[in-house]
Amino acid sequence: MELQTVTYLIVGLSFALYLGIAFWARAGSTSEFYVAGGGVNPVMNGMATAADWMSAASFISMAGLISNMGYGGAVFLMGWTGGYVLLAMLLAPYLRKFGKFTVPEFIGDRFYSKGARTIAVVCLLVASITYIIGQMTGVGVAFSRFLGVTKEMGIYIGMAIVFAYAVFGGMKGITYTQVAQYIVLILAYTVPAVFISLNLTGNPFPQLGLGSDFAGTDGALLAKLDQVVTELGFPQYTTSSRGDMLNMFSYTVSLMIGTAGLPHVIVRFFTVPKVSDARASAGWALVFIAILYTTAPAVGAMAKLNLHATVNTAVKGGGDLFAAENSIKYDERPDWMKRWEVTGLLKFDDKNGDGRIQYYNDATKNEAVKAKSDAAGWKGNELSVNADIIVLANPEIALLPNWVIALVAAGGLAAALSTAAGLLMAISSAVSHDLIKGVFNPEISEKSELFAGKVSMGVAVFVAGYLGLNPPGFAAGTVALAFGIAASSLFPAILMGIFSKRMNSAGAIAGMIAGLSATLFYVFAHTGIMFIKGTEFVELVGGKNGWFGIEPNAIGTVGAIVNFVVAYVVCKVTAPPPAHISELVESIRIPKGAGAATGH
Amino acid sequence: MNDSKGYWAATLSLLSKILVVWFLASYGAGILFAPALNTIHLGGYPLGFFFAQQGSIWVFLALIWYYTKKMGEIDRAFGVSED
């Protein structure tokens, strides 16, 4: 069958499945709408959390990022998994025991303040909306690349599908479609990886393959990769990192506590029946996430070596990388390169006019490499490769059948849609439950609140679609900002709410505002106020990366420290919280007596 | 038995133990000591690189499951389990 036909078939089947689940899992009460009735099995919730968590970026871009960054890519691997340890031990069980519907509701009740709740809602909305822009553009890109429709049409189709199950099913519909989406996306990710690993190392497990010998030689794959890339003037794969150790440290912390503080992830743990289920569910979530996250570094490294081996026969043959006959002739390049050249993600430019592809780092500072490439008559790097190809073209590079390529398309879409739906849920419950019921109209009936929830969800879908169609100039890099916001505002507030009985309303509010301001101040110093070009004030923070050499993406850590310190100091000089708050904290610390989550 | 202080102390002591291992596996072996550990090899992996891109994640998994099991035991010992 033609690739296009198979792709339509497999993607169409997966969409039919999601819509079928949407019809079956309609929400009839606010409890079903906000927390899926509180009766989700912990394993299922783990899968749903994994799909919720792993976005278009995790699926399509992460392996490519790691491939480009080498060792330094570990900040994403450790940051986006290590946060689950914090979530499982420090937040999830206690928030589940608290037994309400949303994160701002906890902050509002624990700090006995509508002001605190409103600040939490603002942090939640900013973090979730910046995050969702990336998902909607991801949906558009995935559709246009795989199904040959325009990016706009792709976003419309995506909106229609999400609308169907998110508006009618709420959390219940989203949870069960996410389970199905997890299965689609994990198959799509691992099947090509297994074949690549078999090809390159003879080991079917990519995690083990990455530590094995390069097939046909008696040297380790990673050693071979290090040798090839350094000879070609690139930094050594297994040691190259971005910025210094402190920057890497700070980046990892920021992603970890940001992960633990992202509301669309936290609310997933409100859907299980018991406190012990919330703990186990975090464990299951990490199992399902780890399958992808331990495969990604193998895919990244193997694809890199594979690419070098494809364009330079000396990589496998062991000859001189700079010998003229070892660079492959452009006319003899494999078919998959031809196909991806059409998309513009892969570009060849024959700078020295010899009809062969020379792929190396022409900006290297290594004089020996420069001398060798000059002597060989190389006039600059001739191949540019977009990082996203690493996952998207993987099945073609490994010469896998068409149905695997189609499966990757369905997987990319599943990853983007499931994350978008989770974010929409967090946004709409913050509006209908925290703002409408919590702040403006506490007397609202359950039926009206459910209706308000569905309307907010519908509006949120359209806002997200609009932002996906007309991405603001600052769209790139906003996902990192979402982590910075969650890390510097929500995570510290929730943590102190559980672990410190003495923390009071004034301290928590001052801490959230200070942490958030510090983070935004530093980010805006680099990117301009509200990301408007020309309003940067980087000299005020001591130049680019002026605070200890930390890049703006990694600043959430500093924001969190500011939050903790300010909260502690303000709390010391203001009155302790009332007695019923101490009792509330006592009660959330103990699992016994956890009922189903309620909104009252 | 109603010993909420004891229960909380037991919980905090478990949490601190786990966080120490969590820190050592990721920030320790994966970042701070990675250059030193890279001189040792685990199969084809330099050890520091292994911890940064594989080992830390496996340790995280083990930690969450250990935590789940131990917390269950603490809950039952202090009579605050949900069952």
Please give the helix or strand (H or E) that residue B45 lies within, else none.
Answer: strand B45-46
φ, ψ (nearest 5 deg) of residue A347 = -130, 140
Give the pLDDT of residue A573. 95
Helices A275-311 and A42-53: crossing angle, nearest 10°?
A: 40
Distance CA A33, CA A31 (A): 5
* CB neighbour class for A389 (10 Å; exposed up to 12, middle 13-18, buried from 19): buried
Give the pLDDT of residue A215. 82
User: Which has the closest alpha carbon to A56: A191, A248, A189, A165?
Assistant: A189
B45 with A88: Cβ contact below 8 A? no
Nearest to B53 among A84, A297, A591 (CB): A297
CA distances (Å), origin A399, targets A116, A236, A336, A402, A415: 56, 28, 9, 9, 24
User: Which has the closest alpha carbon to B49: A87, A60, A220, A392?
Assistant: A220
A591 with B63: Cβ contact below 8 A? no
Q: Find the residue in A nearest to B34 (Cα).
A: A239
**Rounded average pLDDT per 10-residue block, chain A, 600 residues:** 84 90 83 84 92 86 87 92 94 91 92 93 88 80 76 85 82 90 93 90 92 85 91 89 85 93 90 91 95 94 89 84 87 84 82 89 87 88 84 79 87 88 88 85 86 88 84 61 90 95 95 94 81 76 81 90 96 93 92 70
Give the pLDDT of residue A475. 47
Please give the helix or strand (H or E) that residue A228 lies within, else none.
Answer: helix A221-231
Number of Cβ within a 10 Å radius of residue A368: 10
Q: Residue A207: list chain B partners with CB under 8 A.
A: 54
Q: What is the largest CA-CA distance in chain B?
A: 54
Q: Residue B33: list chain A partners with CB under 8 A.
A: none
State whether residue A304 sits within 8 Å of chain B by CB.
no
State whether residue A38 sits within 8 Å of chain B by CB.
no
**Minimal C-alpha gap between A253 and chain B (Å):** 9
Distance CA A105, CA A111 (A): 10
Query: What ipTM was predicted for this assembly?
Result: 0.95
CA distances (Å), origin A73, targets A79, A128, A519: 10, 24, 23
Nearest to B44 among A74, A223, A594 (CB): A223
Helices A402-429 and A42-53: crossing angle, nearest 10°?
A: 100
φ, ψ (nearest 5 deg) of residue A479 = -60, -40
| Domains contained in chain A, CATH given | 32-304+398-589 (1.20.1730.10), 305-387 (no CATH)
Give the pLDDT of residue B66. 97
The predicted-structure confidence for A17-37, as pLDDT tens digits, reads as follows: 988 888 888 877 888 888 888
B49 with A274: Cβ contact below 8 A? no
B54 with A210: Cβ contact below 8 A? yes
User: Which has the closest alpha carbon to A503: A561, A558, A565, A559?
Assistant: A565
Distance CA A317, CA A319 (A): 6
Give the pLDDT of residue A463. 87
Distance CA A404, CA A281 (A): 30
Which amino acid, B23? F
Q: Residue A290: list chain B partners with CB under 8 A.
A: 57-58, 60-61
User: Which has the closest alpha carbon to A109: A505, A507, A534?
Assistant: A505
**Minimal C-alpha gap between B40 and chain A (Å):** 13
Residues of B with CB under 8 A from a CB of A: 4, 7-8, 11, 15, 18-19, 22, 26-27, 30-32, 34-35, 38, 41-46, 49-50, 52-54, 56-58, 60-61, 63-65, 67-68, 71-72, 75, 79-82
B68 with A280: Cβ contact below 8 A? yes
Q: Residue A594: list chain B partners with CB under 8 A.
A: 82
Distance CA A370, CA A359 (A): 13
Q: Residue B76: list chain A partners with CB under 8 A.
A: none
The predicted-structure confidence for B36-70, as pLDDT tens digits, reads as follows: 999 999 988 999 999 999 999 999 999 999 999 99
Task: Show the 3-state SS of A251-315.
Answer: HHHHHHHHHHHCHHHHHHHHCCCCHHHHHHHHHHHHHHHHHHHHHHHHHHHHHHHHHHHHHECHH
A238 with B38: Cβ contact below 8 A? yes
B68 with A283: Cβ contact below 8 A? yes
User: How many degrees, rounded to 5, is the angle at CA A459 between CA A456 and CA A463?
Assistant: 130
State whether residue A302 sits within 8 Å of chain B by CB.
no
A592 with B80: Cβ contact below 8 A? yes
φ, ψ (nearest 5 deg) of residue A307 = -65, -45
- Burial letters A394-432, b for 16+ CB under 10 A, else e: bbbbbebebebbbbbbbbbbbbbbbbbbbbbbbbbbbbb
Residue in this structure with the two tokens 């940001």, named with its chain if needed: A258
Distance CA A171, CA A52 (A): 11
Cα-based torsion angle of the residue sequence A7, A9, A15, A17 in order, rounded to the nearest 10 degrees: -130
- Cβ–Cβ < 8 Å for A552, A588: no
User: Which has the closest alpha carbon to A120: A408, A532, A513?
Assistant: A513
Using only C-alpha atoms, chain A has a radius of gyration, in whole angstroms, of: 25
Distance CA A68, CA A79 (A): 18
